[in-house]
Structure 1
Amino acid sequence: MQATTLDVTAIRKDFPILQRKVNGYPLVYLDNAATSQTPRQVIDVIVDYYSRYNANIHRGVHALSQEATDAYEQAREKIRSHFNAAHSHEIIFTSGTTEAINLVANGFSSLLAEGDEILVSAMEHHSNIVPWQMLCERNGAKLRVIPMNQQGELEMDTYREMLSGKTKLVFCNHISNALGTINPVEEIIRLAHDSGAAVLIDGAQAAPHLKADMQQLDVDFYTVSAHKLCGPTGVGMLYGKEEWLRKLPPYKGGGEMIAEVTFEKTTYADLPHKFEAGTPNIAGGIAFGAALDYLNAIGMEAIARYEQELLAYATQKLQEIEGLRIYGTAADKTSVISFNIDGIHPYDIGTLLDKMGIAVRTGHHCAQPIMDFYQIPGTVRASFCFYNSIEEIDRLVEGVKKAKDMLL
């Protein structure tokens, strides 16, 4: 198979880390669902910030502060445009998806009452389970789980039956980090709204593979981490409809999120600053915008087509290995393959692959309920990005075969 939709050779030259060796072998990086690699174009933006105009934002009249503020707010506008939010003030900078989810959960703790119901899917990352459990413990709301089938798809008929007047919130990932399943979020959102419930979609795994349109989805909240899409760690965004962001109380108190402070009373700043207390990750925010520029220059549709080619090729080749089982065979999925080989612990396979310079993830991938569903300790997860090549998949397949021969 020859993939021709992208000039992968040229793209790979943008990523310095892909030129290194691990254990004497050229690096094959297939842990992209955990974090993607960073192109030089984004690295240069970070270096440029700290080299030329490092200053705090929104607070200074001097030139450096103005330049930093302009660059940071331009990045917010890039994010708004990429995700097609109606207003830039609906984009809240966070430290990542986990903080964004906790921000919403904290806000809803004052809006829910005992007996209210929260629906969450069975294939969630721990970051979209634990905050809601904590919320339910505080106010007596009930957490209910939308089940999934053996293919790793949500049981939508059961979801429809679960919705009721008690349902106040529905939470679901757009794409499963452990299985690669692309969930039918448009239908999930529409049905929830028909029942009067708000919806948060965890877009951390979706953002690298597709371009989610906030207005088309009509979603209430959507979360993204920059490090999943060629940006830096420690920065992400929460999209929230203006009406919801105005209802939620501030998540953190401090500088920047205030309008006026006295010892008697504090009033809060307008959106988005109401939720952005303290000095933010300024360089990270600017680089987040640069990462979106990089991806859009390549083209998200071209990226999606190529990654589907990688997925199809890798699936075919891995399925030829006797005793190998793939978990997550949804009809609609992205470039993630979780697998095990009969009689071998996933950690052992991952360790031997690392000796061959091949980076994969092993374990439960912060989605332990999925592993419990399949009654396994974890999986080997190979996750592909647009800078991966067919040759790298061939090395993965040969590495798995060698590991199997050594361990059985």
Structure 2
Amino acid sequence: MTTPHSIPTSEGLAAVGGPPPPSLPPGLPAGLPEEALLSRLAGEFFALLPTGAPDAQLPFGAPPQPAQTEIALGNRAPALAPLPGTPAAAPDEAVDAAPAFGRAANPVLGVPEAHAAALPPVAPPQASSVPGAPSSPYYFLGEASAWPSQAESAGLPREDRVTARSFGLPGEAELNQLLGGIEVGRHSPVPTSTITPASGPAFYFLDPEAEQPAPAVAPSAHPPFDVNAVRRDFPILQERVNGRQLIWLDNAATTHKPQAVIDRLAYFYEHENSNIHRAAHELAARATDAYEGARSKVARFLGAASAEEIIFVRGATEGINLIAKTWGAQHVGEGDEIIVSHLEHHANIVPWQQLAAAKGAKLRVIPVDDSGQVLLDEYGKLLNARTRIVAVTQVSNALGTVVPVKEIVAMAHAAGAKALVDGAQSVSHMRVNVQDIDADFFVFSGHKVFAPTGIGAVYGKREVLEDMPPWQGGGNMIADVTFEKTIYHGPPTRFEAGTGNIADAVGLGAAIDYVERIGMENIARYEHDLLAYATHGLLTVPGIRLIGTAADKASVLSFVLNGYTTEEVGRALNEEGIAVRSGHHCAQPILRRFGVEATVRPSLAFYNTCGEVDTLVAVLQRLASGRTSPPR
């Protein structure tokens, strides 16, 4: 008998009753048979084995399998490779999809995770440059596991950590001097010379002994972060703009989509496309399972108690409007009060203004200090027996300020009010647990977290949702309709009238899988260091004024540059292939608090690099020196 992984010899085949192999072609070196010959020999060998022999006893592992009959999607894999000795699966395992509506269980039907059972199995390769490569071209069929990286064997440098000290930028002493002279925000602009230097650094990440340390991140069981490998998962990052490779620093507006999400959408339309919940046919079952499976993933991602607490909407804006026009219309009356913060996006101001105007209620605003952080003492003074709801952002889209929402929610509850948290800018940068925050409502948009546009979610505590009236009427949200009355479903389908954005909900689920495979702790740690590096770099540009210098910030840098309008800076950066946002960012009240109408806003994601930041800083330094084009 042959030894494992050896080529069968004439004697070996004869031992199991088979004929000897034909002679090797003339001129072929000994020990190197042709591939066709080896394949035929292996087939003859397996055919002669007794039936039912377990694969583990075979000298080559599993016998050859039928050819893959499904359409391959390139066998791309998210850019992570397991470390030696680490388990194959990440700790945050995927939850099972919700059972199909009104049909018997069938392991072949439903979401791709279940449908994969019907695909012909593929024999694992005996040797691969990518250890542990997925056995199916639909790599997203197995979820929340540590996938191999295409870039691991490419010999590329790793950027697991970025530190400002590593790149020749000013030391802490020089930076503290620079920061002491930053022109902090006021209700009206003031000369820099009138500002007293701060006693300590303005950014917690510049002083290891600062009273407010960097945000704590738990040790991660995920593979080390490799930005070069991650970038390979985002095809648009290879796009060229004005002859230069795209540098995408507009992530607070929208994020790009990894190939895993793009392929998941293609798979849905190729294999699952159907309306949901209403038919007994196969594609309806698949689409329903995929949609409800995505709901379960959102629940897990937010730390909700149940998938029934997740409502799919177009995005955070629609989510806030839903709450204002259902819960708000039911519980806010004349003389009642609604509290928001000065940091809010227009989407968390306008719906409450409309509700207050319709009901005769009052809108009250939590002020912020000169760094852009909310003043909790002042907030406490606003709370009273007439406060009905407090609605605040978790991260400011204009300044990057991380708001202490857990404390704000607790204070609201102590006053007998409900609390809503806008997580549009937080979910892609930090781990969120709605039960820990204890928010009554939480909203976010999928396109801010690497998912498609036009999809988002509302989390609501079950008991709160059950007390809310429907928002829109139509199909899917009803249990029974007569001309005399309608009986509505319970949450969440009570709030999902009509045909929803099924495919993009599935895409949102794929984006969540991708983020969880990388690990939110890895993302938070990398982005924190990259933000520190970018802040150091911007402070070297003469005439720049940072807007928003709170001690706790996420990946947003907002600034103005002396001698230039924000539009001029944006155009100059675009000429170099750099995409940033310039304008009021749908947050006019907070910018006016700092005496400006608009800012330039670079915003970072985990696929950005120090090299991209260096290019941004170089262009700004050129502008500050009065040059409008690169030196020749």
Which of 233, 239, 246 does residue 27 from structure 1 map onto?
Answer: 246
Query: 2:592 aligns to what SS in structure 1?
Result: helix
Q: Is the 8 A contact 1:82 1:292 kept in 2?
A: yes
Are 2:237 and 1:81 aligned?
Answer: no
Are 2:562 and 1:406 aligned?
Answer: no
In 1, the alpha carbon distance for the partners of 2:360 and 2:627 equals 52
Moved more, 280-289 or 398-407: 398-407
Give the corresponding residue for 1:112. Answer: 332
Which of 371, 378, 394 does residue 151 from structure 1 map onto?
Answer: 371
Q: TM-score, normalised by structure 2?
A: 0.64
Letter of the 2:447 partner, please give it: H
Q: Is the 8 A contact 1:31 1:360 kept in 2?
A: yes
In 1, the alpha carbon distance for the partners of 2:444 and 2:246 equals 27
Q: Is the 8 A contact 2:255 2:449 kept in 1?
A: yes
Counterparts of residues 39-58 of structure 1 (less than 5 Å) = 39-58=258-277
Letter of the 2:627 partner, please give it: M
In 2, the alpha carbon distance for the partners of 1:174 and 1:52 equals 38
In 1, the alpha carbon distance for the partners of 2:302 and 2:433 equals 5
User: Any idea what the Cα deviations from partners look like across 1:124-177, whole Å, max 9, x if unmatched?
Assistant: 000000000000111111100111111000011100111111111001000000
More helix by percentage? 1
In 1, the alpha carbon distance for the partners of 2:431 and 2:248 equals 23
In 2, the alpha carbon distance for the partners of 1:3 and 1:162 equals 46
More strand by percentage? 1
User: Any idea what the Cα deviations from partners look like across 1:338-365, whole Å, max 9, x if unmatched?
Assistant: 0111221111000110011000000010
Task: Give the RMSD, CA atoms, in angstroms.
Answer: 1.1
Give the corresponding residue for 1:68. Answer: 287
Alpha-carbon distance change, 174 to 88 in structure 1, aligned in 2, over 3 angstroms? same
Q: Is the 8 A contact 2:295 2:310 kept in 1?
A: yes
Moved more, 102-111 or 233-242: 102-111
Which of 144, 161, 164 does residue 381 from structure 2 map onto?
Answer: 161
Counterparts of residues 276-291 of structure 1 (less than 5 Å) = 276-291=496-511
Q: 1:402 offset after TM fit, Å? A: 2.4
Q: Is the 8 A contact 1:353 1:403 kept in 2?
A: no
Query: 1:383 aligns to what SS in structure 2?
Result: coil
Counterparts of residues 2-401 of structure 1 (less than 5 Å) = 3-5=159-161, 6-107=225-326, 108-401=328-621
Letter of the 1:41 partner, please give it: A
Identical positions, percent: 50
- Consecutive unaligned residues of structure 2, counting only runs of 5 or more, are 1-157, 162-224
Q: 1:406 offset after TM fit, Å? A: 3.3
User: Any idea what the Cα deviations from partners look like across 1:172-207, whole Å, max 9, x if unmatched?
Assistant: 000000000000001000000000000000000000
Letter of the 2:539 partner, please give it: Q
Q: 1:259 offset after TM fit, Å? A: 1.0
Alpha-carbon distance change, 294 to 202 in structure 1, aligned in 2, over 3 angstroms? same
- The structure with the largest alpha-carbon Rg is 2
Q: Which runs of 4 or more aligned residues in structure 1 lie more than 3 Å from their structure 2 counterparts after TM superposition? A: none
In 2, the alpha carbon distance for the partners of 1:401 and 1:254 equals 57
Moved more, 123-132 or 398-407: 398-407
Q: Is the 8 A contact 1:3 1:390 kept in 2?
A: no
In 1, the alpha carbon distance for the partners of 2:525 and 2:613 equals 17
In 2, the alpha carbon distance for the partners of 1:377 and 1:342 equals 14
In 1, the alpha carbon distance for the partners of 2:329 and 2:619 equals 49
Q: TM-score, normalised by structure 1?
A: 0.98
Q: 1:16 offset after TM fit, Å? A: 0.5
Q: Relative contact order (alpha carbons < 8 A, sep ≥ 6): 1 or 2 greater?
A: 1
Aligned length: 407
